[in-house]
Amino acid sequence: MNILEAMLGAQNGGAARQIGQQFGLPDDQVQSALSALVPALASGFQKNMASQGGLEALLGALGGGGHQRYLDDPGSLASPETIADGNGILGHVLGSKDVSRQVAAQAAAQTGIGVDVLKQMLPIVAAMMMGSMSKQAAQAGPGAGAGAGLLGMLAPLLDANRDGSVADDVLGMVGKLFSQR
C-alpha cells in the first residue's frame, strides 16, 4: 500500500473526513488535495532519506515521535500541537516556507482549492505522512526492513511518468522544489 492510500484509508477514512470537516471540504476535494500534496512531500522525504544519515534520523524520529496518533486518533489532527509538529516536519522535509508556499500554490493550480486552505492543510498532511510512515516502520521492524518499507510506500507516488524508475521523476521534482531555496 502506498502512503497516500494508507492516509486515505486510516480509521476507515476518518482522518480524511477530519480534514474535510476542519477545512470545510467535501471528500472528493480532500482526496484531490492529498493527491496533490503528498507526492511533493514524498519527494522531500525521499531527498532527506538519501542524504548522509537521513534514513537513520527519519527512523529515529518515527520510532520516538508518537506520530501514529495522527492516524489512530483523527481528532488529534485539529490540535495546535499537530500543526506545530507538522510545521517542524515541513521544515525538515521542504527546508523553507518558500518551498511550502510553492507546494501549496502548485496543488491549488491542480485542484482548484484555494492556496490559503492548502497552506493551512500542509502541516496536517505532513503530520499524517509521518504517522503513516511510523506505522509502516513499526510493522517492518528495526533496521533495513523499515527503510525498505518506507521507500516502498513513497516510490509509487514518485514515479510520475510510470516508467518503472523513480530516479528521473525524483530528480525533476527535487529540481523544481529546491532550486528556489
Query: First and final CA of the chain: distance in angstroms?
Result: 32
What totals of helices (H) and strands (E) does the chain contain, helices first? 10, 0
The model's pLDDT over 50-98, given as tens digits with 9 standing for 90+, comes to 788 877 787 778 777 788 899 899 999 999 999 999 999 999 889 889 9
Cα separation, 96 vs 112, in Å, equals 24
Does position 105 have pLDDT exceeding 90, yes or no?
yes
Confidence label for 159 from pLDDT (cuts 50, 70 and 90): very low
User: Residue 13: what residue type?
Assistant: G
Q: Is residue 46 a contact partner of residue 158, using CB atoms and an 8 Å limit?
A: yes
